[in-house]
Structures are given as structure tokens and as C-alpha cells.
Structure 1
Amino acid sequence: MATTDEPTSTWFGSDGQVSQLRGLLFKAGCLGATLLALFLVFVFLVYVAIDAIEPGTADPAWWATVATTVAGPAVALSIYYYRFAPRAGEVAYTALGLPVAATLLAGGVSIVFRHIVSPHEWLTLVVASLVAYGALEVHDRAREAGVLERVVVGAAVIGLTIVGVPGLVPSLRTLLLSLPVLPMASLSLLGTFVVPIGVGAGWSVRRARESDRAGLIAGGVTVAAAAIGAVAGPVVGVSWTTWLVLTTVVGVPVGLYVERVHRGGNGVSGLALPVVLAAGVVVCAVIVETAGFAGPDVWIDWEFLTSAHNRTPREAGIYPALVGSVMMIIVVALAAFPVGVGAAIYLEEYAPTGGLSGSIVQLIEINIANLAGVPSVVYGLLGLALFVKVGELRPGIVIVGGLTVSLLILPIIIISAQEAIRAVPDSQRRAAYGIGATRWQTVRTVVLPRAMPGIMTGTILALGRAIGETAPLLMVGVAAVVRISPRSFFGLFSAMPRQLYSWAQLAKPEFYHGVLAAGVLVLLVVLLMMNGTAILLRNKYQRRD
């Protein structure tokens, strides 16, 4: 039996009672550290918001009107939820945050259709992808193939349908684009973007309500609302692309959430908060416009979000840098996610664990963990050497910036994916093997679905870091200012952190205190929304487990 020389009085008092002083001190220290961190973040956000909004320039009557019509009812309703209806409060805050997050996502989708993929290109991409998927399904049903054969056949099918062989064999997508007649742009987007989302919404409602009629109504309403808006939108000053995106990306998730709350019947009163806020904003706008109250002289407005850089502070905008950040994140996600998850699957499910090979695998994992802490400027130098010097790509283009930042977050994705895969119980693997499943079938149907929430959470957090990095972009020659948004992944671009860095170097106080603060606020909102999405995904799947 093991013994210890430590006196009992170290942990117990002289009367034999357990001392709680150390625990109380530890608890107070942790609470103090948490409050200090939250306070510092709050002070920073307030400081930036004051510079971006300049609340002191508004009339006191304007603030009184906002407090009476918007803030007052919202605070009163929040207090009521907190005291008497906690479940309704959860519904209220979700119903308030979901449209905001969906609107930000809709902005990103609009940028994709405006600058990256045209409606006709999207149509041909979807058709080619469906053909590739059908061909792979036919191959899988025709014969039992190994992993290597699946990879080879999949690469060949994707190459022939989507990519092609440059200079030799055009892809199916290229052949479709070269057709002399294609559907109208609005019909292309309606059929290949809106209809699939409508089908998904209908399927979700059908499964929840166990009614084919309810599913058909939900899907039909989605497609009809988008189609009507595509025709009537330009009449009221809204482009058909914007209307289609808002209907699907904002309207569908908000409608599904409202339907779920109404169907459950628990916390339905929480849906009143966004309605009260919207009504308050309308009443406030009418009163302010009628009375002529002057609002704050804000720097962050619609013109700032849709304009390019200008030497005049009041005319400067962040739109080209915003487009560049969206395109860079697309490259980062496409490059880092499959490689990182594939590496994690191999290290956890296929890599040897014993002998010399096992020692090599352990050495690789140690180096991956060390790479996660390497300064970002080192990855910038690596990207410069690898993609510009060796790959002979043009400095400062989207593909170079995206691939460089992909190297930065790749170790983070691998580590987070490994942890998520490792968290899957071995009993589930053994059960799959017991019914005759192969290792690949077990990984695909058991391990990955169970680990995907953790993988997605880690990936989103890594992408949040990627969108705020500046040092790697400086190393690969990303431009300080770009007045024209990039039209392809091989075009010159600027990203939001790079644009903010250039604004910080300008001597005009208006740039430093106004324009820079507005840009920082936009970047912080994007980061907070990405991190908030990761937290919601984690909490949702933890409750499901």
C-alpha cells in the first residue's frame, strides 16, 4: 500500500475538518480573471464603436427617441423573459440573432454570385457535379472497389466533368458553357440554387410534421416567393439576384426556426422580441424624420460597405477588401479542410501504432503540434518561397494569399479533427466491424458523422483566425489598396486586415479614428459571427449526444 510523508494537517484542519480556503481562493481567482478578460474586451469594443459611430454628434432628442421606441421596449421585454419566461428568452435571442447571421451569410453569397461565379457558370457547375456523382454511384454499385481504385476513379470522373485536361480534353462544364443557348441568368439561378434549397426546406418540414402536404407547401412557398421576387424585385429597386439570395439564405432558415418554435409550442412568446424591435425601428425612423432630429455622424454605413478606398475619408470604403477576404476564405476552406481532415483520419484510423513506423507517426504528430505555434510571418515567408518563387505564381493574387494562409491554419485543423475523431467511442467502431463493415465503411458511416460537429467547430474557429491575419499577406505581396474588386482567383486583391493596416499608416486623423475604426468594427463583427456559429454548432450537437 502506497504511503505519503505529507502531513494530514496540510489538507485538513486540526479538528479533522476539510479546509475550504484554498478552493474559495482558487474560485475567486478564476472568477476575477474571467471578469477582467470580459471587461477588457468590452472596453475595446466600446472604444472602437465610439470612434466608428461618434455618438456625441447626435442630438439629445434623437437619443431620447431611440431609447423610448427601441431600447426601452426591448430591455423591458428582456427583463420579463429573464424573470418569468427563460425558455421564451432563449427563443427571443435566437430569433434576433439568426436573421443577423443569415444576412451576413447572404452578403457573402451575393459576393460569390457577383464576382466569382456567374449564374450560367453555377448552372454548369451543378450539372457537371450531378453527372460526376451519378457516375461514381454507378461505379460503386457495379463493383466492389478498394480505396485506391475509388480515389483513382473519382479523380478521373471529376477531372472529365468539372476540371478537364488543360489544352487536351475540355471538361463537361466547359462544353456546357460553350453551348450557343443557355437559360436566362435568373432561371439558371432559380433552378440550380433556389429549387434545391426549397426541396431541402420542404423535406425538413415534411420530416418534422410527418406530412407530405406540409412539405410540399413549404417547398412551394420558398420557390414561389423567390420567383415572384425575381420579377417584382427590380420594380421596387432590388436586383433579382439579391432577392433570390435573401429569400433562400435569410428567409428559409428564419422561417424554419419560426415553424419549429410554433410547432413545439414552448417559448412562442419569445418571437415577439424581433417584432417589437422592428416596429420600434420603424416608429423611431418616422418620428426622427418628421421632427428633424439629427442622428450621429457615423462612419460605418451602406456607402462604406459598398465603396472602394478613397483619399477623402468620408468617401472611403471597404468593399474591394471585403470581396477579397471572401474569395481568400473560399480558397483557404477548399485547400485546408480536405487536406487537414484527411491527414487527421489517416493519423487516427490508419497510421501504425507500434514499432519504427509508430515512432515516426508520433514524431509527425509532435511536429504538427509544434507547427500550430509557429509565428504567422514564418508561414508568409514559406508561402512566398513555395508559391511565388518555386510555383512562379504572381505575387498578391487571391490564390497565393489563400494557399499561404491555408498553410497557417492547416495544423490547427488537423489537431482539432484528430481530437474530434479520437472522441468517438471505440465501441461504435467494434460494433461496425462486428457486422462486417470494412475500415473505410466504418470511417465513412460511423466515425466521420459522429466527429463532424467537432471537426466543423475547429474548422470555423481556424477560418476565423485566417480571415484576420495580416503578416502572411504582407509577405506574399498583397496590395495595400485595391480600388477594383478581383474578378477571379488569379486577380490582384486586398483583404480586410491588409486594408486596415494601410489605413493605420495614413496621417489624416479622420482615417485613423473614423475609417479605421469602422473597418475594425466590420472585421470584428465577421469574426464574432464565425466564432458564434462554431459555439452554436458545438452546443447543438452536445445536446443531441
Structure 2
Amino acid sequence: MATEQREIEGFGHVSRTVGTVFRYLLLAATLFGIVALAVLLLYVANDAIQPLTADPGWHLTFFLTLVLPTLLASGYLLRTDPASFRFGGAVVGTLAVSTMFGGGAAMIFVDIVAPVTWFAYVLAICLALAGVVAIERFDRQLPFLVRFVGAGAVVLLALFVVPGFIQSFPVYPTDGILLTLSLGAPIALVVGRYVAFEAGRRGRLLSVAGALVAIALGVVVGPLVGITPVPATVMLAVAVVPTGGYALGHVRRNPARRAGLGFAAVVLGGAVVGAVAVDVLGFAGPQSWVDWGFLTSAHSGTAADAGLYPAIGGSILLMVTVAALSFPLGVGAAVYLEEYAPDNRLTRFIDVNISNLAGVPSVVYGLLGLGVFVTYLGQPTGTVLIGGATLALLILPIVIISSREALRSVPTEMRQASYGMGATRWQTIKNVVLPRAFPGILTGTILALGRAIGETAPLIMIGAPNVLFSLPTELSSKVSAMPLQVYAWASLFASEPFYQAAVPAGVVVLLIVLLSMNSIAIVLRNKYEADQ
């Protein structure tokens, strides 16, 4: 019979009762935090969406077409086939998250970057990669310096000459066709290969062609449903085709999970049927502030007309800039410190400072960006480049730390096996360590970007405007962001209508973006752990 208290050498008296009490105290504290956060989010969401303002028939219709079938299907699958339920939920979640990011991508191609410009740079990058690969084929015939200079010349020539040459053409295909070739083709290649993973070369080619044709249908189908070709093509390429490819490929690998597709069909079909039914029956929905007008309108002096569109576009451009600056620098620093740097006082000093910098308040990084980029370098305040560089400094220590942890998780035996086969250190890092650690690196980077997208203090310190009425179109343009816009509504335009309408709606949109980014990181982490 076990005793409640015993003495273990080196630990003193160990009490099972104290351990049980401590465990339940931790559980109670966790539940309290979750409940408090849920209450806060429900309070904000109620102000933003106002679900109780809908007609009772609207609620009844969606209960009968969406809620009740979903509950029945999920209850049945949870009892009989939990794996299919998780797969169906993943399909629905993937479509929802990819649709949101597809909308952001469509915004870029509609108002920020012309499709012909995107096509020109994609073609330039492809030519540069082809040139570098061709030079690398002469690995043993040419000395390293010649190959390095040749590769650099090819890259610079492609990036600085090809885009201008392409854009100088007097006539070129329509925007939808250009996006299909430059954005849809790479996605179709990945999706097609995933779907037809065991179908042979011909099957993979047919699958890739089918995915590309599905994306190209946006040029034709979009106008039929009231959507212009550019956003229709982008949504098909970013949301619909990848989600469909994931569902088909997963079912081909696991035929027993087909019931998950039925669950996804119940959820998505119920939502569509409910929307059609309430429109036909004339039931009014919630008087939500988070609607299409709010997402596509600029700021206004009245809460009823205020929108978040320029701030959403600014946040997207800032995140692209932050990722472009922080990811290569952070991963490169992590690889050097983990794989090349000797263990001496200098590297230990650097390790301690990187850990300390990860906890520095964000306003300090705003002051650093103001002092370095604006005062010392003389750059204009509040631009996309300066804002992105400042936020990149903010998350750089986090990216370095998470990347180093991912590199450490690669077993030493894999490195030793690579060395035993005659590979050099760089070949081992490139072919063994980085592919194994990449999911962890990507997860840490996404979580860091999630922190950056919600920061306000650094942007205020570098002089970013609180309110903009148009989207930035280049790196030197002034930029605002969603947190700044919400801050302006809550301070500069403080009034009861803004507090009850615009501020909750902006908070809900920002939280949806943050939760979506964090969910992607969690899914990648779980998949990586499952593959171990």
C-alpha cells in the first residue's frame, strides 16, 4: 500500500497529497485564465457582430441547416471514426484560413502590385534560378570564384533587366492569364504532385494540368458570379485548389478517411444552403459591423462609414517586409551560432544577449528604429521599409532562438552519418540538418510574425500615421496598420459610436488574423512531431 509521504534521498520528504493539490491548483488557474479570456472575446465579438439583432427565423434556419447537421455528423464520427472527424475539420479549417489569406493576396494584386509586374519578377527569378543551376552543373570544370561571380551576374542581370524588358511590351495577356501562369502554375505543380503521389509521371502531369485548368477557370467563372478575374484567380489559386488538393491527396493516401469529406460537405453545404434559404425567405441577418463594407472601406469621421481596408493592406505589406528581412538573417545567424561558432566567451556572451533582447519591450525597438533608420540614416518616417525593418529587429531574437532550438532537435547521429558518407559540413547542413529542422524554424517564424502584426508602439515611435485613406504602393510609401487604426479610433476619435462599433470590429478582425497565423504554426508543429 502506497504511503502519502515518504523520504527520497536528495529530495527530502515527498508528499503525494501536496502534489495532487498543486496539480489541481494549476488546473484551476488554467481554467480561470481560459474562461476570463473567453468572456472578454465574447464581449468584444458581441459588440462587433451583434448576433441578437438577427431575425429569429435567421437563427432557426442556420440552426436547422448548419448547426444541427454539424452536431449530428461530428457526434457520429467522434464515436465511430475520430480520425475522419479530425480530417474533415482540417479540410474546413484549411479552406477558412486559406480563404482569408487569399483575400489578402487578392488585395495586393488589385491595388498594390500590378499582375504584369508580378509576372515579370517571377519570370526573372525563374531565369535567375535556371542560370544558377546551369552554372552549378560545371561544378568541377570551373573554379569556385568563377562560378560565384557568374551566378551573381546572372541573378543581377535577371532581376534588374528582365522585369523592365517584360513591362515594356506594348501588348501582353490579360491580368487573369498572367496570374494563372505566375501564381497558379507553381501552386498547381505542388498540388498536382501531392494528389498524384503514386500515379507515375503521366499521372502527375495530368494532375498538375488539372489543377492549372481549375485555377484558369477563374478568368471565366469569376465574372459569371460577379467577381473580377484577378480576385477570382487568386482565390482559386490560394484557397480552393490547394484545399481540394489536400483533401483528395489525403483520401488517396488514407481511403478509410473518406467519411471526413462527408463531414466537410455537411459543414460547407449547410452554410451555403442556409445562406440561400435566408435570402429566399427574406430573414434579416445580424447588423454586424464586420461586413464587406468595413473590410473594403477607408477611415471615416463617422463610425458607420469607417473601414479598415488601408490598414489591412498596410499590415500585409509590413509582414511581407518583416519576413523578407528577419527570416534569412535569423536563420543564418542561428545556423552560424549552432553549427559553426566555437564555444568560447564571445559566443556565450552573444547567446546571453540574444536571450535578453527577446524580452526587451517593443517601445525600445521603436526608439532603436527611430534613432538608427530615421535619425542616423536620414530615412523618411513611417514608411513601409522603415516600419518593416523596425519590426524585423523586434522579432529577430525570437526567430534566432526558435531556429536554434529547431536545429538542436536534429539528432547528432544524422550529422555523423552524413560526415561518415564523406559529406562536408555545408553539405550536411544543407541536405540533412535544415530540411529536418525547417518545420520548427517555420513554426517559430510564424509565431514571431504573429507578435509583430499586433505591435503598435514601434510604429508610433517611427512616426507611422495613425490613419491613411489609401493603400501604400511602394516601400517608400507611408503605412498604417490594423493596431494603429484601432488605437486611433479609441483615442483620436474617441466617442461612443466608435467604442461600440469600429473599435470592437477592428479588434475582431485583428484577432482573427492572429489566431489564423497561430493555428498554422500549431498545425505545422503537430505534424512535425507526428512525423518524428
What is the CA–CA distance in structure 1 between the aligned matches of 2:55 and 2:423, rounded to whole Å? 71
What is the CA–CA distance in structure 2 between the aligned matches of 1:257 and 1:465, rounded to whole Å? 28
Alpha-carbon shift at residue 213 of structure 1 (Å) = 4.2
Task: Look up the SS of the partner of 1:11 in the other structure.
Answer: strand
Alpha-carbon shift at residue 156 of structure 1 (Å) = 4.1
Match of 2:514 in 1: 527
Match of 1:159 in 2: 156
What is the CA–CA distance in structure 2 between the aligned matches of 1:305 and 1:284, rounded to whole Å? 23
Of residues 94, 105, 108, the one that matches 1:109 is 105
> In the alignment, is the contact (CA less than 8 A) between 1:261 and 1:268 conserved in 2?
no
> In the alignment, is the contact (CA less than 8 A) between 2:217 and 2:233 conserved in 1?
no
Alpha-carbon shift at residue 517 of structure 1 (Å) = 0.6
Task: Look up the SS of the partner of 1:493 in the other structure.
Answer: coil
Match of 2:195 in 1: 205
Match of 2:208 in 1: 219
Alpha-carbon shift at residue 192 of structure 1 (Å) = 2.0
Partner AA of 1:518 in structure 2: A
Task: Look up the SS of the partner of 1:437 in the other structure.
Answer: coil
Task: Look up the SS of the partner of 2:473 in the other structure.
Answer: coil
What is the CA–CA distance in structure 2 between the aligned matches of 1:205 and 1:283, rounded to whole Å? 29
Match of 1:369 in 2: 355
> In the alignment, is the contact (CA less than 8 A) between 1:481 and 1:499 conserved in 2?
yes
Partner AA of 1:65 in structure 2: T
What is the CA–CA distance in structure 2 between the aligned matches of 1:350 and 1:539, rounded to whole Å? 29
Match of 1:56 in 2: 52
TM-score when scaled to structure 2?
A: 0.93
> In the alignment, is the contact (CA less than 8 A) between 2:110 and 2:231 conserved in 1?
no
Q: Does 1:485 align with 2:471?
A: yes
What is the CA–CA distance in structure 1 between the aligned matches of 2:456 and 2:512, rounded to whole Å? 17
What is the CA–CA distance in structure 1 between the aligned matches of 2:194 and 2:277, rounded to whole Å? 42
What is the CA–CA distance in structure 2 between the aligned matches of 1:149 and 1:455, rounded to whole Å? 33
What is the CA–CA distance in structure 2 between the aligned matches of 1:436 and 1:334, rounded to whole Å? 34
Q: Does 1:448 align with 2:438?
A: no
> In the alignment, is the contact (CA less than 8 A) between 2:391 and 2:458 conserved in 1?
yes
Q: 1:134 to 1:211 in 2, by over 3 A?
A: closer
> In the alignment, is the contact (CA less than 8 A) between 1:48 and 1:521 conserved in 2?
yes
What is the CA–CA distance in structure 2 between the aligned matches of 1:455 and 1:347, rounded to whole Å? 15
Deviation sequence 1:82-112 (CA, Å, 0-9, x none): 2222122112211211110110121122123
Q: After the TM superposition, which of the residue ranges 298-307 and 48-57 deviates more from structure 2?
A: 48-57
Q: After the TM superposition, which of the residue ranges 523-532 and 499-508 deviates more from structure 2?
A: 499-508
Percentage of matched positions with identical amino acids: 44
Alpha-carbon shift at residue 181 of structure 1 (Å) = 4.2
Task: Look up the SS of the partner of 1:142 in the other structure.
Answer: coil
Q: Does 1:76 align with 2:72?
A: yes
List alignment gaps of at least 5 residues for structure 1.
1-7, 165-170
Partner AA of 2:519 in structure 1: G
Partner AA of 1:136 in structure 2: V
Match of 1:433 in 2: 419
Of residues 128, 131, 151, the one that matches 2:127 is 131
What is the CA–CA distance in structure 1 between the aligned matches of 2:85 and 2:189, rounded to whole Å? 31
Task: Look up the SS of the partner of 2:413 in the other structure.
Answer: helix
Of residues 188, 193, 214, the one that matches 2:183 is 193
> In the alignment, is the contact (CA less than 8 A) between 2:124 and 2:158 conserved in 1?
yes
Task: Look up the SS of the partner of 2:285 in the other structure.
Answer: coil
> In the alignment, is the contact (CA less than 8 A) between 2:176 and 2:218 conserved in 1?
no
Partner AA of 2:216 in structure 1: A
Where do 1:93-492 residues align within 5 Å? 93-143=89-139, 154-162=151-159, 164=160, 171-207=161-197, 209-263=198-252, 264-353=254-343, 358-492=344-478
Q: After the TM superposition, which of the residue ranges 140-149 and 249-258 deviates more from structure 2?
A: 140-149
> In the alignment, is the contact (CA less than 8 A) between 2:191 and 2:246 conserved in 1?
no
> In the alignment, is the contact (CA less than 8 A) between 1:201 and 1:215 conserved in 2?
no
Alpha-carbon shift at residue 124 of structure 1 (Å) = 1.6
Task: Look up the SS of the partner of 2:359 in the other structure.
Answer: coil
Alpha-carbon shift at residue 317 of structure 1 (Å) = 0.8
What is the CA–CA distance in structure 2 between the aligned matches of 1:403 and 1:502, rounded to whole Å? 23
What is the CA–CA distance in structure 2 between the aligned matches of 1:235 and 1:280, rounded to whole Å? 23
How many residue pairs were aligned? 522
Quote the RMSD (CA, aligned, Å): 2.2
Q: 1:347 to 1:59 in 2, by over 3 A?
A: same
Task: Look up the SS of the partner of 1:298 in the other structure.
Answer: coil
